[in-house]
Structure 1
Amino acid sequence: MALRGASAQRAIEGLRELAGMGLTAPEIFRRSDELLRGVLEFDAVCWHTADPATGLVTSVLSDDLSLAGFREAVRLEVWHEDAASFPNIRRSGLRAETLSRVTRGRPERTIRFREQIAPASFGDELRAVFDTQGGMWGCAAFLRVPDRGPYLGRHRDLADIAARHIGNALRACHITPARSADAEAEQAPAMVILGPSNGLVAADDRAQRLLAELADDAMAALSVPTAFAIASERARRAACGELPAQGKIRVRAADGRWFVLHASLVEGLADGCVGVVASPASPAETMPMYLAAYGLTGREQEVALHALRGCDTKEIARVLAMTPYTVQDHLKAIFTKAGVTSRRELIARIVLGEQPTI
């Protein structure tokens, strides 16, 4: 896909370099804003990290928007399969879509436009999902004022390319660093109780510490990090029979630890209180994400998982219907991407979360 203009080319080159800079997710978002604002021609942006496995939003960052109404934004995101939603964009196989294009110039047909975008004095929205290497590492919504007119095809094309590079940068920063002894000792689950509007009602000592660690820009509006509000609202919708049985949401702390959030209604009422339990993620829950973060393909991840379980080359070949030579080729690629030279080093790196050279 050809890019128009030297400015767009420079922006993409800058985004491509982000994966090797060792940045945190907020730093990636702010640098991406600097590179893209002039060429995408947006007036405000809302950035999100996501659970790589499910694509569910886990945090929000915005230097442009007032998040006073973010509680309602969570409700709309969970309860309404609106046009150009993040899940719909991901399912389409695209990485970017505009509200004006998907509604054929009638964005007012969507509840998100009527209740969020238009009241905030914006005219069009471009959404992008940072989906790469089998995981959705984040997403963003770019908004522009009506005077600019709707986004054009070139904006959507540029956002599609940019999303891949931002996804790679986010993927790289999700390779967990070595954990401290104190973090290893913190193995007990944490409990939070949220009220009917998903505001904080109670939290035990561990939960209070975890809420502080996971704090994001939505805290002022929600009183809890975004991931807890999303988990709670999904439990409410599941109780109404509009979602499958409540699933889990994985969320990553700044020190690299992963937690799994499980939410359930305290009294069985969708408009009542919800309990959210945050448990340290098990190796089985984190290993696929670590492998994806190293840039392994789907087939390489399958081989790596069997190797991490102690299977030898012949066993892996039999289970995955490959030749032993093909397994060895995959293992060589895995070792190269993970920065190791043996299965023992691979196990140590994945289990201990050592930081590789990207």
Structure 2
Amino acid sequence: MTSRREAERRAISDLQDLANAGLTASDVFRQADPVLRDLLGFDAVCWHANDPATGLVTSVLTDDLELDDFRQAVQLEIWGDDVARFPEIRLSGRGADTLSRATGGVLHRSLRFREQIAPAGFGDELRAVFDAGGGMWGCAAFMRAPDRGPYRPGELALARRAARHVGVALQRSQHLEAQAAQKPLPPAVVLLGPDNHLLSADERAEGLLDEFADDSTAIFSVPTPFVMAAEQARAAVSGSRTPAPLRVRGRGGRWFVLHASLLRGRPEGPAAVVITSASPAEIMPVVFASYGLTHREREVALRVVQGNGTGDIAQALCMTPLTVQDHLKSIFTKAGVRSRREFVAQLLVVHPPEVWT
């Protein structure tokens, strides 16, 4: 009989293999599910891809849950002041946490448990964030039936180990193939009602909706990133959240940015979501995270793209030229190139050259 320890080692090995399998994000989730289901002991899971720079959810994938109350889930995530939320777990550096641990075993202390998890028939919840290279590439919520009891310390420890490997696989999924040079698309506009259901979309937006389609589309008539952008704008108007652009990658590999604003300036009003092609400056945080660059390497890389020489970079960043060269070697290795010219060309493959500030 295979021991628990042997099964966990095999699971971690299988998750490590996902990073080299050339998978999309949704494929990573679908292959990680059976690897973890029995070992973590969950009965339902909801997988999410994220904007790596902001951590905002950009897609939903689940075969276990009904999404009729997904708007409530979005509101709780954007507006709610609760324990063991995804941003809190990420800031803690733990990688995963459970409601039972965060509430001291009293699950009803959690607003999310009272209003969503318990009514859906579940007990404890385990949440994991999939970080790698300084970016948050995805996250997941694992629910289990009440009669299973709370997640055990060993299960939480395994989830934390697994989260790191899923994060690397998602990070690698973002640069599977180079895209041919493309001209930026004209802005497109989607109008959502107070309940975030689709009211109207211009012709360009209608052509783009399929680029982001996911499991929530059937509920709202629009994919998840539009709902998240609109709800974030509502929270920003109320003063409970700072607005931020939402980066999302379409099925064809092109990156877009979503900006939302409220037409009547009130949280209960309709929201306009504007979709634009991501500029090089907007996509750089994602690109650098996908390469796994350190903070210092990102500073050097940005100045390389701006055309600065080694001496200028050394002076601007208060380091020696030799240190700059060491950083450049590491950057080129991680990016899979051999020179500054190749590095800049690779970064600009989707966009025409321009000065980045």
Q: Distance in 2 between matches of 1:162 and 1:109?
A: 27
Q: Secondary structure at the match of 2:19?
A: helix
Residue equivalent to 1:267 = 264
> Which of 192, 197, 200 in structure 2 is aligned with 1:199?
197
> Which of 237, 247, 252 in structure 1 is aligned with 2:249?
252
CA contact (8 A) 2:180 2:349 kept: no
Residue equivalent to 2:142 = 142
Deviations 1:273-307 (A, max 9, x none): 00010111110111221121012222212111111
Residue equivalent to 2:168 = 168
1:59 equivalent to 2:56? Answer: no
CA contact (8 A) 1:195 1:201 kept: yes
Residue equivalent to 2:41 = 41
CA contact (8 A) 1:175 1:353 kept: no
Q: Distance in 1 between matches of 2:143 and 2:255?
A: 31
Q: Distance in 1 between matches of 2:283 and 2:335?
A: 16
Deviation at 1:22, TM superposition (A): 0.7
Deviation at 1:176, TM superposition (A): 6.2
Q: Distance in 1 between matches of 2:40 and 2:73?
A: 24
Q: Secondary structure at the match of 1:130?
A: strand
Q: Distance in 1 between matches of 2:326 and 2:162?
A: 31
1:90 equivalent to 2:90? Answer: yes
Q: Secondary structure at the match of 1:286?
A: helix
Deviation at 1:4, TM superposition (A): 5.8
Residue equivalent to 2:236 = 238
Q: Secondary structure at the match of 1:352?
A: coil
Amino acid at match of 1:61: L
CA contact (8 A) 1:176 1:290 kept: no
1:331 equivalent to 2:328? Answer: yes
Amino acid at match of 2:304: A
Deviations 1:8-60 (A, max 9, x none): 11110111111111100000001110211111111111000001011011110
Q: Secondary structure at the match of 2:348?
A: helix
CA contact (8 A) 1:177 1:255 kept: no
CA contact (8 A) 1:304 1:334 kept: yes
Residue equivalent to 1:292 = 289
Q: Secondary structure at the match of 2:261?
A: strand
Amino acid at match of 1:78: I
Q: Distance in 1 between matches of 2:138 and 2:241?
A: 22
CA contact (8 A) 1:177 1:353 kept: no
CA contact (8 A) 1:68 1:220 kept: no
Deviation at 1:353, TM superposition (A): 5.8
Q: Distance in 2 between matches of 1:211 and 1:97?
A: 34
> Which of 339, 344, 352 in structure 1 is aligned with 2:341?
344
> Which of 226, 229, 238 in structure 2 is aligned with 1:228?
226
CA contact (8 A) 1:4 1:154 kept: no
> Which of 299, 302, 326 in structure 1 is aligned with 2:299?
302
Amino acid at match of 1:9: R
1:314 equivalent to 2:281? Answer: no
Q: Distance in 2 between matches of 1:121 and 1:146?
A: 8
Residue equivalent to 2:76 = 76
Residue equivalent to 1:13 = 13
Deviation at 1:257, TM superposition (A): 1.0
Deviation at 1:315, TM superposition (A): 0.8
- For normalisation by structure 2, the TM-score amounts to 0.95
Deviations 1:320-357 (A, max 9, x none): 11111111111111111111111000011111169xxx
Amino acid at match of 1:84: A
Q: Secondary structure at the match of 2:13?
A: helix
* 1:353–1:9 Cα change, 3 Å: farther
CA contact (8 A) 2:134 2:292 kept: no
Deviation at 1:222, TM superposition (A): 1.6
Q: Distance in 1 between matches of 2:131 and 2:262?
A: 31
* 1:123–1:37 Cα change, 3 Å: same
Q: Distance in 2 between matches of 1:248 and 1:20?
A: 30
Residue equivalent to 1:23 = 23
Q: Distance in 2 between matches of 1:27 and 1:353?
A: 24
Over the residues paired in the alignment, what is the CA RMSD in angstroms?
Answer: 1.5
Q: Distance in 2 between matches of 1:132 and 1:237?
A: 28
Q: Distance in 2 between matches of 1:229 and 1:302?
A: 33
Work out the number of aligned pairs and report it: 349
Q: Distance in 1 between matches of 2:96 and 2:272?
A: 35
Deviation at 1:240, TM superposition (A): 1.4
Amino acid at match of 1:168: V
Q: Secondary structure at the match of 1:5?
A: helix
Q: Which runs of 4+ in 1 moved over 6 A?
A: none
Q: Distance in 2 between matches of 1:353 and 1:289?
A: 14
Question: Where in structure 2 are there 5+ consecutive unaligned residues?
Answer: 352-357
Q: Distance in 1 between matches of 2:297 and 2:323?
A: 11
